[in-house]
Amino acid sequence: MILGKLSEPVHEDFSVTDINNNLVPGIDSTAFTYHIFNDNGNEVTSIVPVAITELGFGHYRASFIPNSVGIWMLSVYHSLYFPWGKTGSIQVFGHDFDSIAELVIRILGLTQENFSIDNTVYDTSGNLTSGRIKIYNNSSNVGTGSGIIATYTIEAEYDVNNGLMTNYEVKKV
């Protein structure tokens, strides 16, 4: 299964051979037939165009830009050289894995993994009123200027009558 991202090009590669199993280069892209189905099982060939390009030596690539998340299906064939076709499923996500991984790393940091607080300020009652949080890529960098993933400011406010916190904010810098 191919993985893809919403609104980003997705590629399905395939090779075309003749009856003697020799690669067939130079097929005009318009000679291929394709069908594409979205996650709902609707055939969307007329709505979502597929571009077919030769990579070289009889190897080809079908590309399209998905407009919804879910599992898509693409089938490409050529009536003479490739009648059995290439059919595959494409799992389309709303986000790429790099952005998800970055968010997970930041979440781990905010749960106080490889985490430090500095530049702290306290009121006369000893309550923290401001500071800075830094999260790091590994434990050996904690407290240093290296490997900082993200920095956040802390601000807290307290009720003057009972000293209880009334507001606490952590903002990414």
Q: Distance between CA 137 and CA 128 in Å, rounded?
A: 26
Instruction: Compute the CA torsion angle 105, 5, 10, 8 (nearest 10 deg).
Output: -110
Average pLDDT over residues 161-173: 95
CB within 8 A of 173, min separation 6: which ones?
150, 151, 152, 153
Q: Taking the domain 2-93, which CATH number applies?
A: 2.60.40.10
Write down the domain spans for the chain.
2-93, 97-172
Which pLDDT value is given to residue 3? 92
Residue 104 pLDDT: 85
pLDDT per residue over 48-102, tens digit each? 999 999 999 999 999 999 999 999 999 999 999 889 899 999 999 998 877 788 8
